[in-house]
Amino acid sequence: MSSIREVARLAGVSVATVSRTLKTPDVVSPATRDKVLSAVEQAGYRPNLMAVQFRSQRTRNLVVLVPKIANTFYARVISGIQLAAQSRGYGVLLCNTQGDEAVEAQYAHLVSTRQADGVIQLRAYNPFRDDRVGAASLPMVNACEVLDATPYPTIKLDNRAAAREMTEHLVALGHRRIAMIKGPRRSPLTRDRFDGYRDALEAVGIAFDDTLLCPGDFTPQSGYAGARALVERAKPPTAIFCESDEMAIGALQWLKRAGYRVPEEISIAGFDDIEFASYCDPSLTTIAQPAEAFGEAAIEMLVALIEGRKLEPLHRVLPHRLVIRESTAPPPISLT
């Protein structure tokens, strides 16, 4: 591992000239440039970026805090992030946090310890909460699931409007007993989607029935258990709106195991439009989110923050789209 000094010796120039040749080639004479470049080649020189970053106090690395890296929705967001970061000359450090706040704080420290220039947080939690440095003094952007009141820039979906649309779709099909399998209690996503569901019911005068509510945690397992619980109610639903596709797929699985026909006997709706949503049977009616655009927007805003440019607007809302597939249909005639 040869150093810049070795290259300088080989080329018969000073280390400053080597550095200049590499950083600002147009400022050295062509003859020197050639000498230096062939010395670089000969020595197999690779600059020690630890030293470069240390010296320039910039790493050009960005940290991304991902709750669940295996989730195909997040995978698409990440893909958007990587593309956008790369085109701006930044590297991406992916951190799989499983929503563990200690892990998030630890990785966020990559920024406070200057191993990275900024953070993209995909969950509604401030990983710098216990840090001594003042809020919002460290470059961070909060996307997808965002904090309610935060000094950090945010990018989100209008979850309330999206859930309202999905519920309206079910109502339009003729459903009156529409259940909801919710996400984690503390998630703003859950609250907003639930609010949208209620909005839609209220708008058409369907009385809210809390026996049609079921807790979940966005996993297929919780959808599986939730479907069973809902169907065993005294007055079971004719449609189940799950706050995530993974839960919807779990619910679908239980219903089919239990001998129910979907959507003839009961409709299922999801949220996210993950890849398997179109590969399950029946394919899933869901809400599509512009996942890659989340990533692109997050990077754009974070880089602006890091490079000291003004951010306008500070909070962005991205568009959603209702995707109607096979899992939703009118309720059985006997039940309308």
Partner DNA sequence: GTGAAAGCGCTAACAA
Partner DNA sequence: TTGTTAGCGCTTTCAC
Q: How far is the CB of 62 from its own copies (least distance, A)?
A: 12
Q: Is 115 one of the binding residues for its own copies (CB under 8 A)?
A: yes
A 10 A CB-CB count for 203 gives 12
**Measured from the CB of residue 35, what is the shortest distance to its own copies in angstroms?**
18
Residue 133 binds to DNA (criterion: CB under 7 A) = no
Window 202-231: residues binding its own copies (CB under 8 A): 220, 224
Confirm or reject binding of residue 234 to DNA (CB under 7 A): no
Cα 310 from chain centre: 24
Whole-angstrom distance, CA of residue 217 vs CA of residue 221: 9
Selection from DNA, its own copies, none that 275 binds (CB < 5 to 8 A by kind) is its own copies
β-pairing verdict for 321-323 and 286-288: antiparallel
CA distance 271 to 269: 7
Q: 118: which residues sit within 8 A by CB, 6+ positions away?
A: 62, 63, 111, 138, 139, 140, 141, 302, 303, 305, 306
Contact set for its own copies, span 277-306 (CB under 8 A): 279-281
Does residue 19 interact with its own copies by CB under 8 A?
no
Residue 56 is a binding residue for DNA (CB under 7 A): yes
Is residue 4 within the footprint of DNA (CB under 7 A)?
yes
Tell me the window of 23-31, 154-162, 221-229, 275-283 that interacts with DNA (CB under 7 A): 23-31
Minimum CB–partner distance for residue 330 and its own copies (Å): 22
Distances, alpha carbon 226 to alpha carbons 177, 180, 217, 233, 262, in Å = 16, 9, 10, 11, 16
Q: How far is CA 334 from the centre of its chain?
A: 42
Q: Which stretch binds its own copies (CB under 8 A): 89-97, 160-168, 199-207, 310-318?
A: 89-97
49 binds its own copies (CB under 8 A): yes
Closest CA to 157 of 333, 32, 315, 304: 315
Can you tell me which of 160, 191, 198, 256 binds its own copies, judged by CB under 8 A?
A: 256
